[in-house]
Amino acid sequence: MNQSPGIVLVSHSAQLAAGLRELLAQIATDRVPVALAGGTADGGLGTSYDRIAEAITEADGGAGVIILPDLGSSVLTALTVLEDHPRPDVLLVDAPFVEGAVAAAVTAASGADLATVAEAARQARGIAKLEAPEAGPQPTSGAEGSRVSAQVTLPATLHARPAGRLAQEAAKFTSAIRLEYGAKTVNPTGVLTVMSLGATAGGTVTVHAEGPDADAAVETLAAILAEVE
């Protein structure tokens, strides 16, 4: 399936939803359908049952839809729509409104399926903005398979799109994988986790992997890092 999962942004404010869609268009791609259900029908603050239902239809290109609400009553209204029109391929996702939308859009743009996009949005809840990222799984000396590392000098800043590709590819391997940049080490299976490295052009990112497919993991991720533009 070539169509990307769609995203519905449910907000009390039409301007807030529109601004977030503008942000997603800049850091993801226009290939990801993003529909808005912001404000009430008369232009006020609030949520609208009809707007949510219409936005689901607008965002649905055949690969499913995730709904991201901002505050309490938007959740309740979205739940009511889904109760009246239940569909297994329309998911209401509990995630931070902005960070969840960014993670979902970048992951969808990388070619991921509905479940992966929804999980990327959920994982955004655990990404700290100011604290150092938590270290990812640490390979142990008893792990089966080889231990491999590779250093890559970034040709450009590690932004959202390559971060999304890294996260999607890293999730395919069974080996324990880490990305290291400066004093930070992260598990690269989450797009916002990768972005939290803050890796800039000219900096060196080291890919570590240990396990049965470590060679392939390092080769794949290093190639993505070397092509950042």
List residues with catalytic annotation.
12
Q: Compute CA 132 distance to the chain's CA centroid, rounded to the nearest angstrom.
A: 19
* Separation between Cα atoms, residue 22 and residue 32, nearest integer Å: 12
CA–CA distance from 5 to each of 39, 126, 166, 226 (Å)?
23, 23, 19, 28
Classify residue 42 by its DSSP letter: T
DSSP run (H or E) holding 209: strand 204-211
Alpha-carbon distance 154 to 171, whole Å?
22
Locus of tokens 């979205």: 78
Burial class (CB in 10 A: 0-12, 13-18, 19+), 221: buried
Say if residues 51 and 77 touch (Cβ distance below 8 Å).
no
Amino acid at 17: A
* Closest to 94 measured CA to CA, from 109, 111, 64, 74: 74
Instruction: Look at the alpha carbons of 19, 8, 46, 51 in this order and tell me if their dihedral is positive or negative.
Output: positive
Please tell me the distance from the alpha carbon of residue 195 to that of residue 217, in angstroms, as a whole number: 19
Q: Token digits for 150?
A: 């590779």
